[in-house]
Amino acid sequence: MATFKIILIVMSAIVWISWFTVDLYKIKKQQSKNILEDVKPDLKEFLRQNKWAILLSLLKRAIFTAIIAGSIYAIVYFSIQSVLFRTITLIVTFVALWVFMFIIDLYKMNKELHENVFENIQPDSKEFMHRYKWAVLLSLIKRAILAAIIVGASYAVIYFSIKSLLFRAIAIIFVIVVLWLTHSGITGEIFEKKGYKKITGNLMGFIPIYGLIYAIKLRPHKQILPGAFKTIIGFKEIMMKMMTFGMLTAALGIVAFPIVYLIGSSFTDTSDLPTLLWPTSDLFTWQNYVSLFEDTKFFVWYKNTFIIALLSMLLGVIFVTGAGYVFARFKFKGKKAGLMAILVLQVFPSFMGLIAMFTLFQVFGLLGKPTWLTVLYVGGSVPGNIWLIKGYLSQIPKDLDESAMLDGANKFQIFFKIIMPLSVPILSFVAVGLFMAPWMDYMLPKYLLDVQLAGSTDPDSVQKQWTIAVGLFSMIQNPQSSSYTMFASGALIVAVPITILYMIFQRYLIEGIAAGATKG
Amino acid sequence: MKRNGKHIFKGIASAIIPGLGQVFNKQFLKAAIFFVIFSIFLGVELATSHYFVTVDPYDKLTEETGELFTDVFSENFYKYYAYQKAADEVDFPDFEAYYATANADDVFSMRELLEYIGEEIVGASTPRYFVLSTDLVATDEGMGTSNTGEILDTDLIIGTDDDAIGAMNFTHVKIGITIYMSNDVEYYRVITGSDETRQVFYVNVNDSTDVIYDVTGFTEYKRTDSLYYDSSLHIVYIKSTISDSVLGSSDYRYTNVQDSSDFYDAKDSANFDYFNSLEKLEIKGDLVFSGSGDLYVRYIPELSYDMVHGYNGTAFTDYFRNYVTMRYNANTSFDSGNYNRMLIEVYFSIHPELRTAFETQYYNFFYDKAGAFTKGIWSLITLGTTEKVVYNYKSLHDPLKSVAFTESGITYAAVSGILDETPLIGHVSSYLLIQGLIYTLLLAYFILIYIWGIIDAYKTSKRYDETKKFVKDVEWLRNIFTHGFEYFMMLPALFVITFITVMPILFGFLIAFTSYSGFDSDSGLFTWVGFSNFTRIFSFGEGIPFAETFWSVLSWTVIWAICSTATVFFGGMFLAVVINSERVPFKKFWRTFLILPWAVPALISQMAFSVIFSDRGVINAILDKLGFYDVFQNWGILGVAYNADTMTAFQKLFYLGYNNIQWFSNANNIWFVRIALIVINIWLGAPYFMALMTSIMTSIDRTLYEAADIDGATKNQKFKFITFPLVMYSTAPILVMTFSGNFNNFGVIYFITQGGTGAGDIDTAFAGSTDILISWMYTLTVSKKVYNMASVFSILIFLLVGSIAAWNFSQTRAFKED
């Protein structure tokens, strides 16, 4: 309750002052109408002339604010005390809101009706109902739902704020952030209207209150029409702004939550599931990273995965480049069939080959040897990558080839000296794809690299075969023997480089995939 | 006509010997190449074959590296025997008679000797019932009869005295097993079948037609294999540990084998003296008692279940045994492999039907002698015919195992490393299938080249007729170089594709038509079953419920794919629209930050989500602190145990969990789990679409919007008629790709929920409540080894998803251009 009282008092003060300022402004405007344009009114003169009006305004607004604040407080107070009161308040608010919005809709519909009909025909209510009855019904329902949502949400927010400290804290932070962003947005738009750069305005707007005042006082660069600012500070506009920023802030929070949790739990010192978003100072530790390398085979897994990735990248590029070039450039017998075949092969789920690969590896005794997984990754990627390279290379104009041939180069020379350098972008895309694949693959390594090697005396021989994906999952899979904090630290070590890479190349990667799909 | 004949003749020439037609065409290099390839083919076939080598199936039995038991050995043995029997002043008339016949051809072979030994042992080890005599001596010499197999008059011989045996109404005392008793009736447990056909039931010890299925509340006796004998009363007690709900802790109890109401508990101190007076019984055979209460021991050599019962030896076999040991000590090149082989030979001579089976099964023309290509084709057709077998000859150890002995002051050490059994792995169908596929594919390549040779001979000859010119070898080489460039470049990739992509897919495809499933099939046989696996999808109510589960998993997969794609798409679009609106400053910041979920590797975030949303995880902890737990508990959807009878519909519909909100382990409200998954997937997928759409939106021509403004369009109209259609058009292929990707989205399901409740249960055919087709297939393959059904499902997935993806792909410009 105490917090609520404080908030209520602060809000009332703000409302009072702003209301009062609006009044002042109105007075000033009225004043300026009565005075000639070239005489500058000064503050002292202004106060002296209008002191009664100002005092009256101060008092009036204080009383209004007090009444409003008082009623709010009373409602809250009695709602807490009595369920009946709470219920009645909720119902009354709901109905009031509903009727209010419904009437606005009716009004709009009426206006529309008037605009569409010739001026001299007087539409009456029967006509109105006849035309708009479905719209009326729809509006009734829509507004009911909307009112219910608004009332319900506000009730929930108030209820939880009272019950839980955490909720209150989060709600307050959320509201402050949204207000702050709205403030910045308004300031930016004011700057824009006055002919300055919007960005500067937004930045200025980060300074609370002063930024706004600065923007208002700013000398406009261009002519401003009287109604210009209405679009910025209209009620609806501010509501929309707050909603937009509210959604964005919420999205930000949702996006950040798991990531912050992951980072936080990697620093948490607990042998169980970490339940705090970020460890308190007494639970903060670097130990998890140390134990990761000492107690688990993390380093071995990392090494395994790295070797597989590197090898498949090198071998894959070698195998695929030539074939892709041939498909792009030449017409030869069986090309169409070959393309169809590649297309068909690409859509087979990689799963189908899993059992065969297991048996094959078993026959040749390759189970449990991580490096041989390279063969699978390279093989599996051949169809798709041929397609990509072909698509890219078909965009390189054939004239290059022809002019080179005129100069007497044979096909090998053309390939190595001209085409290869030009295809570096797509080759690096393919190479990156090949490199990334083994890190994120779980199905294959779990099946093929999880075997008891006959004749092995090392008790950890099974674990030493794993790749990162299998190893990390093993840390959280078994509820009895899990170590969640070590998992977090391992996950971070793997994820951070990849995330940074993706963030840097995001534009290229996203549009690359899109382009690959549409343009081939 | 005649002209054509010449060409055809050359074609046929190439058919007979590849390259011959080219020789007639005066293209010697080409001829050489074709011939070389053909020789490579022949060479591989012959090199991998044993056409010209004798293959002895007996070589598969054990590794012999030392001196074989050759006929020399048997000849020398006879000499030793003759000397020894004279020294011991004994005679073996049966053997003499046998030897006379066997040596008629002047050769006493090893096989003949071992046959005789087999007969001798069988003769000494007649299956029979012998009485537990009154003056029992508790040694390993049996009771009343000696280890050398002497038969007494009172023994009832199985096969001769069957009527008397039947009249005695014997009951077998089972030792070493667990008995469930209730109301003085005893049952023992029987488990038959494995995996799908597994059945557990309990059979009455005294009446095998009395079968029950539930033994809750029964007393459990874990019978040891210790028997104790009261010689004065002729009562045998069996020692068991018992545990039942009343008595609690296990303790020893000695129960009269004939009367289970007569027992003594070890913890009753009054019984101590009595127990000490009992003698431990070591018998060679099964303990049985007759209907009239007499105790007998049933002796059947080679009863397999406890391997105590072996064959008896004779004095003759002792000679043999000693001789072998002596030779072992004298000749260090003799090893245990030889010995084991010898034991198997004796075993075969005792069981001639096993010998015939072995010889036919383990000497298969295609498997053992044929070359790689022939064997490959045979493998594909038959998938192997020989089952694995274990020859267990421990029962021969007593008479024949080498023991150390001392004679004339010399100590001879026993042969070491003698095995109890020799397992033989027959044909392994999975290996055969793979090898068959590989070689058949290679064969296909060779056949292609062969046909190419024929056609080439024909065509070149024709061309000569028309142009009167043979293409010289040199020119032809140059031609290849310029025109064949593309083929050369493709060769490595082609090779890789065939064997690493095509072959496994073919293998997976073929498995769907076999019976490859279960833990044994990895190293054993399976057969072609045609389409019966496919019809199983439609056969409801049989065995493991694959049919019901398949359709329910399929429907959930489709729902999941549609919902997750739609929510992600529209979620991303919503975010993109919000970010793109004019009100929002610092668009780049928002975009960069909100794309984080896409940048973090999906694997990591999925695993992280399984931790975050676990029952005792951070989300539940925070919800508790926020006060939601109290609200939910007030509403009755949290904190109460699920009770279908007493809960209201609201509670049932929104049931969240018992102690904590069970996001993914909620067994009673699976739709809660499924919806939670779809919502979480939005976090994972929407940012990508958001980024994609923002970039598309920013690239939309500004003039379109300006024109719309002039026409007086509202914001909604601008969105509906300009932004939305353009975005949809550009992202439609990606939408289809996302749909098929989500259809097979293994990571989200597996890492976050591990399939949900019921995963791995046989009742739901191993599928969990949130399993989609691919995660179910993975469990089937990796944990449960039901490969054939998994293959069937993957074929169906391919048909479904593949056709969508292929259609999508074929719509792209790249494909159409070509």
**Res A329: pLDDT:** 74
Tell me if A244 and B581 make a contact (CB, 8 A cut-off): yes
Q: Is B787 on the interface with A (CB under 8 A)?
A: yes
Secondary structure element (H or E) that encloses residue A393, with its range: helix A373-393
Which residues, other chains included, contact B197 with Cβ-Cβ below 8 Å and sequence gap of 6+? Answer: B543
State how far residue B578 is from chain A, nearest Cα, in angstroms. 7
Chain mean pLDDT for chain A: 80
Mean pLDDT of B442-450: 88
Counting DSSP H helices and E strands in chain A, the numbers are 22, 0
**A438, A467 Cβ separation under 8 angstroms:** yes
CA-to-CA distance for B359 and A370, rounded, in angstroms? 41
Of B754 and B66, the structure prediction assigns the larger pLDDT to B754
The per-residue pLDDT for range A64-86, each reduced to its tens digit, is 888 888 888 888 788 778 888 88
Q: Taking residues B268-276, what's their average pLDDT?
A: 75
Give the pairing type, strands B185-192 and B199-204.
antiparallel
- B682 — pLDDT class (breaks 50, 70, 90): very high
Q: Chain B neighbours among A 386-445 (CB < 8 Å)?
A: 386-387, 390-391, 394, 410-412, 415, 439-440, 442-443
Q: Secondary structure of B488-515 in the HEC alphabet?
A: HHHHHHHHHHHHHHHHHHHHHHHHCCEC
A117 touching B (Cβ < 8 Å): no
In the chain, the amino acid numbered A453 is L
The residue among B494, B499, B500, B683 with the most chain A CBs within 10 A of its CB, best to mutate, is B500
R_g of chain B, CA atoms, integer Å? 40
Q: Is the pLDDT of residue B24 over 70?
A: yes
pLDDT band at A53 (very low <50, low <70, confident <90, very high): confident
Burial tier of B307 (Cβ tally within 10 Å: 0-12, 13-18, 19+)? middle
Q: What is the pLDDT of residues B336-373, one digit of tens each?
A: 788 888 888 888 888 888 889 888 888 888 888 888 88
Contact A519 B691 (CB under 8 A): no
> How does pLDDT run across A465-514, given as a tens digit for each residue?
788 888 888 888 877 767 888 888 888 988 898 888 888 877 777 766 65
CB contact under 8 A, A494 and B604: yes
| Tokens encoding B357 | 């089976």
Residues A482 and A466: their CA atoms lie apart, in Å, by 17
CA within 13 Å, CB half, B112 = 22
Which of B517, B590, B603, B796 best tests the A interface by mutation, with the highest count of A CBs <10 A?
B603
Distance CA B199, CA B207 (A): 19
Confidence of residue B136 (pLDDT cuts 50, 70, 90): very low
Q: A321, A329, A348: best mutation site toward chain B, by most B Cβ within 10 Å? A: A348
- Quick check: B431 and A487 CB within 8 A? no
Residues whose CB falls within 8 Å of the CB of residue B220, separated by 6 or more in sequence, listed in order? B178, B179, B180, B242, B243, B244
- When pLDDT is cut at 50, 70 and 90, the band that residue B195 belongs to is low
* Three-state secondary-structure class, residue B182: strand
- Looking at residue B150, its pLDDT comes to 63
CB A159 within 8 A of CB A202: no
B382 against B643, higher pLDDT:
B382
Contact B183, B260 (CB under 8 A): no
End-to-end Cα spacing for chain A: 64
Amino acid letter, B340 = N
Q: Do B316 and B145 meet the contact criterion of CB atoms below 8 Å apart? A: no
- Phi, psi angles (nearest 5°) of residue B768: -95, 175
Is residue B178 within 8 A of residue B241, CB to CB? The reply is: no
CB contact under 8 A, B493 and A252: no
Give residue B147's pLDDT: 36
Question: Percent of chain A at pLDDT above 70?
Answer: 89
- Examine the pLDDT at B134 and tell me if it is beyond 60: no
The closest of B388, B430, B418, B334 to B67, measured between CA atoms, is B334
Mapped to the 3 state alphabet, what secondary structure does B584-647 carry?
CCCHHHHHHHHCHHHHCCHHHHHHHHHHHCCCCCHHHHHHHHHCHHHHHHHHCCECCCCCCCCC
pLDDT digits (tens, 9 = 90+) for A236-273: 788 888 888 999 999 999 999 999 999 988 888 887 78
Q: What number is the average pLDDT over the span B517-529?
A: 83
Yes or no: say if B212 and B149 are a contact pair by the CB < 8 Å rule.
Answer: no
- Partner A, chain B 432-471, Cβ-Cβ below 8 Å: 433-435
What's the rounded mean pLDDT across residues A7-15? 84
pLDDT per residue as tens digits for the range A356-415: 788 888 888 878 788 888 888 888 888 778 877 877 777 777 787 788 888 877 777 777
φ, ψ of residue B253 in degrees (nearest 5): -135, 140
Between residues 504 and 543 of chain B, which touch chain A (CB distance below 8 Å)? 504-509, 511
Q: What is the mean pLDDT of residues B664-683?
A: 87
The amino acid sitting at B798 is F
pLDDT of residue A35: 57
Number of Cβ pairs < 8 A linking chain A and chain B: 297
pLDDT (tens digit per residue) in B371-407 = 888 888 998 888 888 888 888 888 888 788 888 888 7
Predicted structure pTM score: 0.77
Return the pLDDT at B678.
92
pLDDT of res. B568? 93
Q: How far apart are CA A64 and CA A12, in angstroms?
A: 10
Look at strands B178-182 and B185-192 and give their pairing.
antiparallel
Which of A160-169, B134-143, B373-382 is least confident? B134-143
Q: Is B181 helix (H, G, I), strand (E, B) or coil?
A: strand
As a whole number, the mean pLDDT across chain B is 80
Chain B residues touching A275 at Cβ < 8 A: 616-618, 621
Task: Give the pLDDT confidence score for residue A513 in this predicted structure.
Answer: 60
Residue B689 pLDDT more than 60?
A: yes
* Predicted pLDDT at A132: 72
pLDDT band at B142 (very low <50, low <70, confident <90, very high): very low
Residue matched to tokens 């994120």: A440
CB-based contact (8 Å) between A339 and chain B?
Answer: yes
Q: How confident is the model at residue A518 (pLDDT cuts 50, 70, 90)?
A: very low
Per-residue pLDDT band for A276 (boundaries 50, 70, 90) equals confident
Is the pLDDT reported for residue A90 higher than 60?
Answer: yes
The reply to whether ipTM tops 0.95 is no
Nearest to B596 among A259, A347, A477 (CB): A259
Comparing alpha-carbon positions, the chain A residue that sits nearest to B486 is A326
pLDDT over threshold 60, residue A279: yes
DSSP letters for B658-722:
SSS--SS--SS-HHHHHHHHHHHHHHHHHHHHHHHHHHHHHTS-HHHHHHHHHTT--HHHHIIII
Show the tokens assigned to B386: 């020989």
- B280 φ/ψ angles, rounded to the nearest 5 degrees: -75, 135
Q: How far apart are CA A284 and CA B270, in angstroms?
A: 64
Judged by CB atoms within 8 Å, which residues 173-212 of B form the interface with A? none
Instruction: Note the pLDDT of residue A404.
Output: 81
What pLDDT is recorded for position B37? 87
pLDDT band, very low/low/confident/very high, at B606 (cuts 50, 70, 90): very high
| β strands within B387-473, DSSP E | 389-392, 405-407, 410-412, 421-424
Token output for B200:
């557990």
Rounded CA separation B433/B438 (Å): 9
Q: Which one of A188, A336, A363 has the shortest CB-CB distance to B585? A: A188
Res A520: pLDDT: 37
* Phi/psi of residue B66, nearest 5 degrees: -105, -150
Query: Mean pLDDT highest for which of A342-346, A447-451, B136-140, B594-598?
Result: B594-598
CB-based contact, A121 to chain B, within 8 Å: no
Q: Which of A187-201, B134-148, B804-818 has the weakest average pLDDT?
A: B134-148
Q: List the one residue out of B477, B460, B687, B485 whose CA is nearest residue B569.
A: B687
Q: Which residues of A touch B430 (CB under 8 A)?
A: 359, 362
